[in-house]
């Protein structure tokens, strides 16, 4: 517990744990179990309480993010690399806007982005966690990261289970427009300030991006990155279609 309230720069090398090791896979499994249990629990609530909870969730996530930043400030480790510019951090604003904006079309578009971009990005972030190499299991940032990404999966799943959203390939324009609007500014920011938001400046180790960079180079891996992102989105739409057909044939 001596390193619980420490940031990565204040932790000796070798204190982290490997990807796909027991600690990592157990943490992912617990996170997914946490999400599933909460989905079941919330689904059994009355409609009014469900709606209230969905409105509270994005606000609660803002509080989580502020608390994390205040912690980093308190240990003198807050910096330009901790701005809310990763796709998973941008998820807060997508969720917030969906709950706050009154327009049906806006809710539809933001719901589609939540389910088709933020949720799969969060699942990938859990599977290829870039924080495990720096932090021991019993560390605030490590635990926070799993809870945070679990929340990013939970909110879109609740929207889907409740029938608030109906993801369809017909709505892919919302997803593509969103990506076009955010990726280029983030890429320029990364280049100007030496950051790696969206992992577009360099690939993280032991990930599909680092594998692509091994033969495409940098920035060549970005072509593979874009193709992989589009493939995942299309695959998700295909799975949704197949599930709908399967349920219709029952």
Task: Provide the pLDDT confidence category of residue 205 given band limits of 50, 70 and 90.
Answer: confident
Is 33 a domain residue?
Answer: yes
pLDDT digits (tens, 9 = 90+) for 153-175: 999 999 999 999 999 999 999 99
Q: For position 229, what pLDDT does the model report?
A: 96
CB 7 within 8 A of CB 141: yes
Is 28 a domain residue?
Answer: yes
**Res 249 pLDDT > 80:** no
Domain containing 137 equals 8-248
If one counts the domains in the chain, the total is 1
Rounded CA separation 143/4 (Å): 10
Mean pLDDT for the chain overall: 95
Task: Provide the pLDDT confidence category of residue 245 given band limits of 50, 70 and 90.
Answer: confident
Is 80 a domain residue?
Answer: yes
Q: For position 232, what pLDDT does the model report?
A: 95
Is 233 a domain residue?
Answer: yes
Choose between 249 and 81: higher pLDDT: 81
pLDDT digits (tens, 9 = 90+) for 27-79: 999 999 999 999 999 999 999 999 999 999 999 999 999 999 999 999 999 99
- Tell me what percent of the residues of the chain surpass a pLDDT of 90: 94
Is 226 a domain residue?
Answer: yes
pLDDT digits (tens, 9 = 90+) for 140-156: 999 999 999 999 999 99
Is 2 a domain residue?
Answer: no
Residues in the chain: 250
Rounded CA separation 104/130 (Å): 37
Is 19 a domain residue?
Answer: yes
User: Residue 162: which of 120, 100, 123, 107 has the closest Cα?
Assistant: 107
Is 3 a domain residue?
Answer: no
Choose between 17 and 205: higher pLDDT: 17
124-150 per-residue burial string, b: 16 or more CB within 10 A, e: under 16? bbbebbbebbbbbeebbbbebbbebbb
pLDDT digits (tens, 9 = 90+) for 6-16: 999 999 998 99
Instruction: Tell me the CA distances in angstroms from 43 to 36, 113, 167, one per residue in order.
Output: 11, 22, 19
């Amino acid at each position: 517990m001596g390193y619980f309230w420490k940031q990565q720069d204040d932790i000796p090398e070798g204190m982290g744990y490997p990807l796909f090791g027991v600690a990592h896979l157990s943490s992912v499994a617990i996170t997914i179990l946490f999400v599933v249990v909460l989905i079941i629990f919330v689904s059994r609530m009355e409609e009014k309480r469900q709606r209230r909870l969905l409105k509270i969730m994005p606000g609660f996530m803002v509080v989580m993010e502020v608390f994390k930043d205040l912690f980093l400030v308190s240990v003198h480790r807050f910096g330009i690399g901790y701005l809310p510019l990763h796709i998973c951090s941008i998820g807060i604003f997508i969720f917030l806007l969906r709950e706050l904006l009154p327009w049906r079309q806006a809710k539809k578009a933001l719901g589609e982005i939540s389910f088709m971009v933020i949720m799969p990005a969060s699942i990938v972030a859990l599977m290829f966690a870039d924080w495990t190499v720096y932090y021991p299991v019993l560390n605030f940032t490590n635990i926070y990261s799993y809870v945070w990404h679990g929340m990013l999966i939970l909110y879109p799943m609740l929207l889907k289970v409740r029938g608030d959203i109906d993801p369809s390939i017909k709505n892919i324009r919302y997803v593509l427009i969103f990506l076009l609007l955010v990726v280029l500014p983030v890429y320029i920011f990364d280049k100007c300030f030496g950051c790696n938001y969206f992992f577009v400046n360099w690939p993280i180790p032991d990930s599909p991006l680092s594998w692509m960079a091994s033969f495409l180079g940098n920035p060549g891996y970005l072509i593979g990155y874009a193709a992989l992102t589009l493939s995942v989105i299309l695959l998700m739409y295909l799975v949704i279609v197949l599930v709908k057909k399967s349920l219709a044939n029952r």
